[in-house]
Amino acid sequence: MNENATAENINFKLTDDLWEEMADLEGVAIASIVIWDSSLVDEDMEEEVTDENRMYVDCELYLANQTLLELYGAAVLPSEDSEPLLGLELISTELSSLAEEGAVVEEIAADQDESMVLTLVTESGRSLLVYTSAWIESTWDELPDDDEA
């Protein structure tokens, strides 16, 4: 967890007030992303989570406006009608390549359970949906080293 963030400011539901506060993140480019090899939701899973069967990841999304979004229990989907990506390597590859292509946060929305959903899209139109179980918004001063990712 980032030193700027505390457990008190973790969010589980995208309320109208939170959405209004976060709406200015729409259109902001991703500067860097760090995907962790475990997730806070792992212990809640019925079967043992391995890199191969991983569906949920925790990650840090560094945005170009100095905003850091720490996403917990995030499922990544190619579209609303598809199943979540499966496997740490595939999820990491897809998110990283989107960030490398200069993806922006196109939309911040809530699903039927009021969980936050980010739509990330590149200039070429390639996109991913990131459904989050929880998140913390803070700021960053320095991008992570490549060897941390």
Q: Is residue 114 part of a domain?
A: yes
Range of the domain at 46: 9-141
Q: Give dist(CA 75, CA 31) in Å, integer.
A: 20
**pTM for the full predicted model:** 0.90
Q: Tokens 């992570």, residue?
A: 144
Q: Is residue 90 part of a domain?
A: yes
Q: Is residue 147 part of a domain?
A: no
Q: Is residue 124 part of a domain?
A: yes
Q: Give dist(CA 74, CA 116) in Å, integer.
A: 10
Q: Mean pLDDT across the chain, nearest whole number?
A: 91
List CB contacts of 1: < 8 A, sequence separation 6 or more.
Answer: 7, 70, 136
The SS3 assignment for 89 reads helix
Q: Is residue 67 part of a domain?
A: yes
Indicate the pLDDT class of residue 145, thresholds 50, 70 and 90: confident
State residue 148's pLDDT score.
47
Q: Are 138 and 68 in contact (CB under 8 A)?
A: yes
Q: Is residue 149 part of a domain?
A: no
Nearest to 104, CA basis, from 35, 32, 26 = 26
Q: Is residue 119 part of a domain?
A: yes
Q: What total of structural domains would you count in the chain?
A: 1
Q: How far is CA 64 from the centre of its chain?
A: 15
